[in-house]
Structure 1
Amino acid sequence: MSEPWNGKVVFEGFWWNCWNSNYPHDWYTYLAKLAPRLAAMGFDGIWTPPPCKDTNAEANMGYTPYDYYDIGQKNQKGQMWTRFGTMDAFLRLVAVAHANGLEVYPDMVLDHCAGGDPDPSSPFQTDNQQYTSFQPVGYAGAHTGRWQRNWLDFHFNPVHWHPTVEWTPTASNSFGSDFCYQGRCSDSGNADANCASRQNVRAWFTWFVKQTGVDGFRFDDVAGFPPEVVEDILYNAMGGGLRYFAVGEYVTDSQATVDGWASDTLNRCGTFDYPLRFALAAMVQSGGFYDVGSLPSQQQSNRFKTVPFVSNHDTADDTIGPALDPDNPRTALAYAVAMTVDGSPQLYYEDLFRNVSPWKDGTTAAAIPSRAWLENLVWCHQKLGFKTGDYFVRYQNSQQLLILERGARAIVAINNDGSSWHDGWVSTAFFPNTQLHDYTGTCPGNVWTNADGWFHVNQPPLSYSVWGNEGVTGGFDLAGRRTVQQFEMDDDLGDSTTNFGYGGKAVADGFRVAGAIWPAAGSEVNVVVYADGPEDVSVEMLTSGGAVLEAANGAVPLALSAAIEVEGRYVLRAKVSAAGAAPARLYVKVDYLGPAESALF
């Protein structure tokens, strides 16, 4: 919905220990049900929790991942699904989001992993450092899964024995086995930049993007490993272009630090603007004693992919404080600034929605109430086209009044004074004698720019206003789109012991299941099967009842199309055709339209 591409409005779709008793261990389905409502509000994308299997499958939030290739389809660490659902549910969420014109940005945890077994080859045989043997399950059985790891993949190892200020764990900052990606992350500062860890994370990330069809990413704790790792995997998975959402969490009040990190990724990834967030939080907590004119100078300078924000799951529980009450009127002022400055603003679940009893632990997508003022700010950002206009700081000569402009699109004013009105004249990019309307409803009546294009703002106490061309109305047209996902069939992927039984090389003596999709009724599904070399294969699409809907046989690349009359789960399976043929790795690529809404899940 937004324009330009780096001016999106992003919804963080979870809070710490999020839970919905109506969708137990199925948060993905709740988000899928919420997608039409978010799209109608004007959002562009959903930041989802980490998708990979954690050390405790059902309980943990995904920030201590065990098996990166397990996104809810392997029976390990206590369960097949994750806290948030199965792989099927995640892929369906992506398709439903796309059908609503939304993008999906999963949380990527690449600094560390956890849940390994004691590593007999490691010199560290005490405390937690001994748990560095990772041998996840694969289709071929226990300990056959892809991306196995040992102590040489982590800190500390012969290439990086000695702790440094950057990229190595400390007693107060250790969340499991800490990856060593070598290169600059080494004692020499110039070790093998294509070491096993780097090769494996690159291969996994590329697999994940193809498997899921996601659109962008949030990278966790990027201070813990070299920025060139993020640059590497984004280039290999997303190509040479830059027009996609990617943001790293680098917690610092140093503008130079976040600017430098983003630049070191060659601007493939931006950062959350923590320096600005700390300033906004100080304003909210000041009780009116804060120089709001200083706020623009607190922004980071590299804003190519910057993400301004007010709250997230870490600030809300004071992990990275301070926590801000969304019903504090100064929090609304902070959001008005964060929405107006350059970047793709991120809104937090518990700020947009009233996440309190009786809705907190059990609600429907339609039932949980939202905060109307925050919905209105999203509407203003999108309908007035904030980020299509240049950014101007028009007035900062007062400690209480700040006036910003998005060139000829919107004028945004905040008054931090709890008892007095404040006013000011500002030059604008609007034409002379232009009628402007405050779309927040704070200032009734319209006001015109004068003959020179200047505008007078008279702002009530403890409030904000958003002025734009008079007469803008309406909601948002849903620009739904199709989803492309690719299922790789190999013996070190999937799990043959689960009900789904995904994975395994294609064999001649029977079909194996590549994956499943959830297309909309009245749509068409297009499938193409590839292999690493010449192969004759058979592919089938099955209905939820197990009947063969469509089938195809022949040499790869082999295409199949199917008309979908009934919405639901459809299974794709394949085999090699020639009797006695050797098992073959296949890639089953599917292009389909998910349902924008559904009564079936």
Structure 2
Amino acid sequence: MKTTRLGLLSALLIGSFSCTQVFEEDENSIPAHEPKANMEMQVTTHDGAPFTTDESSNKRYYDSPGGPVMMQAFYWDVPAGGTWWNTVKGKLNNWSNQGIGSIWLPPASKAQNGPFSMGYDPMDYFDFGDYNQNGSTETRFGSGAELRSLIGEAHNQNMQVYADIVINHNSGGQLEANPYTGTDTWTKFQPASGKFNRTYNDFHPNLDANNDEGIFGGYPDLSHVKGYVQDWLWKSNESVGKYYKNNVGFDGWRFDYVKGFGGWVVKDWVNHVGGFAVGEMWDGNANTLKWWVDNTDRKASAFDFAAYYAMDRAFDGNNLNELNSDMLWKKDSYRAVTFVANHDTDEIWRKNLAYAYILTHEGYPCVFYKDYEDWLDRGMMDNLLWIHKSYATGNTSILHVDNDEYIMRRNGYNGNPGLVLYINNSDNWQERWIPTNWSSQQIKDYTGHSNWEPWTQGGTWVKIQCPPRSYSIWSTK
């Protein structure tokens, strides 16, 4: 879904669950020989196994200890002219080397605005740049052959490819007399591919239903209760979902505007087609996000908008206590896709802190193309990606939170030591004693922001530091 962008970033920018029980001690309160009892709050969202997008997924795509990272491989208004698929293809080798395990592509099929469309006004689900209709043969992004070549190269690079699927609304139909509205409606679709022809019977209102959960932008609203629509979208062997997966090569789905239809639609889609699925449930309430995930029978993940808005309040609002807010990853880390920005919304300015947060915490992190390729320091991003794939393992213990400081520990898994993240949103260097899982071991800050390399005490306590408006990330040396 595309809405008005809520913020821009310059190139200079380098309810029921709350982790509120944290340490408040300082250096002087911890005798070297007698550490306090471990009182941190643990987030026990799963069994501590390295996160994967699906517990039964092919591990070919998830071969690093920290698990995969997704790249949103587009932004709003990417260059027109049919060059985008080749542009993305040229990035894949570097992305894969840095630890990107999957890419999310924009809606790939022909839309009403043809060569100018970003794809969110779908017209012919089976035209990937192969038919001369709506003003062009190619889509804005390129040809069908170029799309297939991109997906093939992604698989060669050990990456999955997710299709952006818009199934709530259609655009680009012809006028027809509609007996259910008593008016003429733009609901007659006769796409050049010859597949999934539609009439007023396939939209709301119809004989079976006046509406479903939501209508977007006044576009004709597909009626998912209709067997004909279900067959063409996901059930039949010729369906959109099966064609995308079996013919084109997509591995999963990003469902647009899932507020517009029931979670059962995504559940049924995945049951018939398979593949990873994530929904754009645009809601900042973690309980609502969990409710939607549960309504898909946990067949789908959701973008963690609760974490997104909490990070904005914490980092830009100068109050790290907001990181105690409820988030989807705290409720169901296997079904949370965390992010800092996307093609629709870009509110967070202190993105260095936000990426340090999502690339060290549980969940499935998604990196925004513009942030990685254009706006942020590439060395910083590659360092965080390396830390994620090397040490972001195990469940989470939040060690300390106050207005300016946030410290958490990933507890490690299967021999991997895990890590400690220290975020400092103040204007001065900060230091703090913390409990670790490492007894009598030397540790270091793998970001290079601190040159300390202290040894943990026999009782696992150690003092770490963090520069102002920045972060440090610690693990065993």
Contact kept, 8 Å, 2:98 with 2:386, in 1: the verdict is yes
- Which amino acid is the alignment partner of residue 103 of structure 2? I
Structure with the greater relative contact order (CA < 8 A, sep ≥ 6): 1 or 2? 2
Q: CA deviation at 1:456?
A: 2.1
For residues 559-570 of structure 1, the aligned pairs below 5 Å read none
CA gap of 1:249–1:135, structure 2 versus 1, over 3 A, is same
The match for 1:349 among 369, 380, 396 is: 369
Q: Does 1:404 align with 2:408?
A: yes
Residue in 2 that maps onto 1:70: 127
Q: Does 1:221 align with 2:257?
A: yes
CA gap of 1:113–1:293, structure 2 versus 1, over 3 A, is closer
CA gap of 1:342–1:296, structure 2 versus 1, over 3 A, is farther
Q: CA deviation at 1:265?
A: 1.1
Residue in 1 that maps onto 2:137: 80
Q: Does 1:421 align with 2:459?
A: no
- SS of 1:304's partner is helix
CA gap of 1:197–1:293, structure 2 versus 1, over 3 A, is closer
- Which amino acid is the alignment partner of residue 107 of structure 1? D
Residue in 2 that maps onto 1:273: 304
Unaligned stretches of 5+ residues in structure 2? 1-48, 54-66, 412-416
Q: CA deviation at 1:283?
A: 2.1
Q: Provide the C-alpha distance between the structure 2 equivalents of 1:290 and 1:466, rounded to a whole number of angstroms.
A: 17
CA gap of 1:465–1:49, structure 2 versus 1, over 3 A, is same
For residues 163-242 of structure 1, the aligned pairs below 5 Å read 167-169=213-215, 173-174=216-217, 176-182=219-225, 195-202=227-234, 203-238=239-274
Tell me the TM-score normalized by structure 2.
0.81
Q: CA deviation at 1:68?
A: 0.7
- SS of 1:354's partner is helix
Q: CA deviation at 1:333?
A: 1.0
Tell me the TM-score normalized by structure 1.
0.65
Residue in 2 that maps onto 1:460: 467
Q: Provide the C-alpha distance between the structure 2 equivalents of 1:298 and 1:77, rounded to a whole number of angstroms.
A: 40
Q: Deviations over 1:45-96 (max 9, x none)?
A: 1111111111011001000100111112112111111110111001100111
Residue in 2 that maps onto 1:491: none
CA gap of 1:402–1:111, structure 2 versus 1, over 3 A, is same
Q: Deviations over 1:535-590 (max 9, x none)?
A: xxxxxxxxxxxxxxxxxxxxxxxxxxxxxxxxxxxxxxxxxxxxxxxxxxxxxxxx
Q: Deviations over 1:155-184 (max 9, x none)?
A: 2223222x5xx6132xxx4252111212xx
Q: Provide the C-alpha distance between the structure 2 equivalents of 1:399 and 1:153, rounded to a whole number of angstroms.
A: 53
Larger mean CA deviation between 11-20 and 50-59 belongs to: 11-20
Q: Deviations over 1:514-548 (max 9, x none)?
A: xxxxxxxxxxxxxxxxxxxxxxxxxxxxxxxxxxx
Q: Deviations over 1:495-532 (max 9, x none)?
A: xxxxxxxxxxxxxxxxxxxxxxxxxxxxxxxxxxxxxx
Segments ≥4 residues shifted beyond 3 Å: 121-126, 295-300
Contact kept, 8 Å, 1:293 with 1:401, in 2: the verdict is no
- SS of 2:91's partner is helix
Contact kept, 8 Å, 2:311 with 2:323, in 1: the verdict is no
Q: Provide the C-alpha distance between the structure 2 equivalents of 1:15 and 1:122, rounded to a whole number of angstroms.
A: 40
Unaligned stretches of 5+ residues in structure 1? 139-144, 183-193, 239-243, 317-322, 356-368, 471-601
Structure number having the greater helix percentage: 2
| Identical-residue share of aligned pairs (%) | 29
Q: Provide the C-alpha distance between the structure 2 equivalents of 1:101 and 1:204, rounded to a whole number of angstroms.
A: 24
CA gap of 1:400–1:370, structure 2 versus 1, over 3 A, is closer
Residue in 1 that maps onto 2:396: 391
Contact kept, 8 Å, 1:111 with 1:225, in 2: the verdict is yes
- Which amino acid is the alignment partner of residue 88 of structure 1? A
For residues 274-423 of structure 1, the aligned pairs below 5 Å read 274-286=305-317, 288-295=318-325, 299=329, 301-316=331-346, 323-325=347-349, 330-354=350-374, 371-384=378-391, 386=392, 388-396=393-401, 398-407=402-411, 408-417=417-426, 419-423=427-431
Q: CA deviation at 1:290?
A: 4.5
For residues 554-593 of structure 1, the aligned pairs below 5 Å read none
Residue in 1 that maps onto 2:52: 5
Aligned residues, how many? 407
Query: How well do the aligned residues superpose, as a CA RMSD in angstroms?
Result: 2.1
Q: Provide the C-alpha distance between the structure 2 equivalents of 1:19 and 1:423, rounded to a whole number of angstroms.
A: 46
Contact kept, 8 Å, 2:313 with 2:322, in 1: the verdict is no
Q: Does 1:158 align with 2:214?
A: no
Q: Deviations over 1:453-493 (max 9, x none)?
A: 123222222110111221xxxxxxxxxxxxxxxxxxxxxxx
Q: CA deviation at 1:390?
A: 2.1
